[in-house]
């Protein structure tokens, strides 16, 4: 498996073939990461410079060498270690800009925020996929990548930046995984279980630590004149209440109905952040029963069964770590939300 290196303007620099390990960590709602280990050679040192772009095979993703890097020489090892992030990391270098109000689809909101931020070299924005989840919010100087990730989770859509090395452009695009669960009949089903011998070293995670069922959102005003909106509900042992201060939402240029809708949206977002989170992590052979990249991929919803634990769930593949070592390859998917999950809309 060849690793191709380009400069930040997407001009080819060369190929690394003698790596010892590569972890290519893809994420549906966030920016992916990688970690590369390779021998210390003059060629590798020249290619693996901070800011250069790395890609493998014919993948749509590419990554940037950024962050902690090292070289190590000892009696046991003589290697370069390079880390970095997938191309959406460029969005983390930008802010959403001064105060704005938005009402529309989540997908359009992403494109709107990228367009109003300081331009990123080579970046183009693709047309949407037609995802119709609506949202109303207000933001002021938020981190662009962080906020797009929150919007993606809210609407359950993925995003990525795809390089075109021939045209020397990068394209921001959204996408949505395919329903491949046992219950549906439109698409080929994908099941991970002991019976299919494709669920190895499984780990089940569950957390209701931050679970909230009802939130009172406090808006503008003081004392008895303050505006409140209640979202959610529950009773008895099933009621878990919280208060959310949302005075940061500016009433200017909003009608009363729009302002109440913005408060309600903030409450809905808060409840989504404070839900019950559950997932499976497992090591999966990439071509046992179902072929990774063909039968299932990042973002797809699949059925996961663990008979010994009495668990059977339909879960989205939110992360996939591809591991390339010793001439072989296996994948470690995360089914469901990575824990802990927190959507802090104030960031």
Q: pTM of the entire structure? A: 0.85
Same domain, 196 and 303: yes
Strand, coil or helix: 339:
coil
What token pair was written down for 74? 């000892």
Mean pLDDT for the chain overall: 90
The answer to whether residue 221 is domain-embedded is yes
H-helix or E-strand containing 86? strand 78-86
Query: Same domain for 224 and 332?
Result: no
User: pLDDT, tens digit, for every residue of 4-45?
Assistant: 999 999 999 999 978 999 999 999 999 999 999 999 999 999
β-sheet bridge partners, residue 79 = 39, 72
Q: How many angstroms from the chain centroid is the CA of residue 50?
A: 23
Can you read off the two tokens belonging to residue 270?
């808060």
Provide the pLDDT for residue 342.
Answer: 42
Please answer whether residues 263 and 255 qualify as being in contact, where contact means their C-beta atoms are separated by less than 8 angstroms: no
Q: Taking CA 302 as the corner, what is the angle to CA 300 and CA 308, rounded to the nearest 5 degrees?
A: 150
pLDDT at 332: 87
- Is residue 219 located within the same domain as residue 330? no
Unique residue bearing structure tokens 């089914």: 335
- Taking the CA of residue 331 as centre, how many other CA atoms within 13 Å lie in the half-sphere pointing to its CB? 21
Q: Are 216 and 241 in contact (CB under 8 A)?
A: yes
Q: Are residues 331 and 226 in the same domain?
A: no
Q: Which of 223, 243, 273 is at the close of a domain?
A: 273
| Number of structural domains in the chain | 2
- What does the angle CA 75 – CA 77 – CA 79 come to, to the nearest 5 degrees? 140
Q: What is the DSSP letter of 9?
A: T
What DSSP state is assigned to residue 248? T
Residues 202 and 280 occupy one common structural domain:
yes
Identify the domain containing residue 240 by its residue range. Answer: 214-273
**Claim to verify: residue 332 and residue 220 sit in the same structural domain:** no
What pLDDT band is residue 338 in, cutting at 50, 70 and 90? low
Q: Which pLDDT belongs to residue 340?
A: 43
* Residue 42 domain-assigned (yes or no): no
Longest Cα separation, the chain: 72
231 with 326, same domain: the answer is no
Both tokens assigned to 339: 């824990």
Could you tell me if 202 and 289 lie in one domain? Answer: yes
The encoded tokens of residue 273 equal 């952040």
Q: Final residue of a domain: which of 243, 273, 303? A: 273
Residue 165 phi, psi (nearest 5): -75, -20
Q: Is residue 240 part of a domain?
A: yes
198 and 281 housed in the same domain = yes
Tell me, yes or no, whether 220 and 332 share the same domain.
no
| Residue 257 is assigned to a structural domain of this protein | yes
How much is the pLDDT for 346?
A: 53
Q: Which tokens hold the place of 46?
A: 């020249």
3-state helix, strand, coil in the chain (%, to 5): 20, 40, 40
| Interval 53-106: pLDDT, tens | 999 988 889 999 999 888 877 667 789 999 999 999 999 999 999 999 999 999
- The two beta strands, 277-283 and 169-175, are unpaired
Which of 227, 255, 273 is the last residue before a domain boundary?
A: 273
Say if residues 161 and 136 touch (Cβ distance below 8 Å): no
Do 216 and 244 form a contact (C-beta atoms < 8 A)?
Answer: yes
């Amino acid at each position: 498996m060849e690793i191709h290196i380009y400069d930040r303007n997407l001009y080819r620099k060369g190929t690394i073939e003698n790596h010892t390990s590569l972890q290519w960590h893809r994420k549906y709602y966030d920016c992916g990461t990688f970690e590369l280990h390779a021998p210390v050679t003059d060629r590798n040192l020249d290619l693996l410079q901070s800011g250069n772009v790395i890609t493998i095979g014919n993948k749509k993703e590419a990554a940037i060498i950024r962050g902690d890097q090292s070289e190590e020489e000892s009696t046991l090892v003589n290697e370069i270690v390079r880390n970095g992030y997938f191309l959406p990391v460029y969005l983390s270098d930008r802010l959403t800009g001064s105060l704005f109000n938005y009402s529309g689809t989540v997908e359009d909101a992403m494109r709107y925020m990228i367009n109003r931020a300081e331009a990123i070299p080579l970046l183009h924005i693709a047309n949407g996929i037609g995802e119709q989840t609506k949202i109303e919010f207000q933001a002021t100087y938020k981190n662009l990548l962080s906020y797009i990730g929150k919007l993606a989770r809210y609407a359950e859509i993925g995003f990525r930046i795809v390089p075109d090395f021939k045209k020397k452009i990068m394209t921001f695009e959204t996408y949505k995984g395919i329903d491949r669960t046992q219950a549906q009949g439109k698409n080929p089903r994908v099941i991970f279980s002991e019976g299919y011998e494709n669920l190895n070293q499984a780990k089940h995670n569950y957390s209701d630590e931050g679970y909230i069922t009802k939130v009172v959102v406090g808006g503008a005003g003081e004392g008895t004149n303050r505006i409140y909106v209640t979202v959610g509900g529950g009773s008895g042992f099933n009621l878990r209440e919280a208060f959310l201060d949302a005075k940061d939402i500016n009433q200017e240029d909003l009608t009363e109905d729009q302002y109440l809708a913005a408060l309600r949206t903030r409450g809905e977002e808060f409840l989504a952040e404070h839900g019950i989170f559950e997932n499976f992590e497992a090591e999966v052979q990439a071509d046992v029963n179902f072929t990774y990249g063909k039968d299932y991929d990042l973002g797809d919803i699949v059925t996961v069964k663990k008979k010994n634990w009495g668990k059977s769930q339909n879960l989205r593949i939110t992360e996939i770590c591809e591991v390339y070592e010793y001439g072989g390859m296996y994948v470690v998917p995360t089914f469901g939300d990575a824990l802990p999950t927190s959507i802090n809309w104030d960031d």
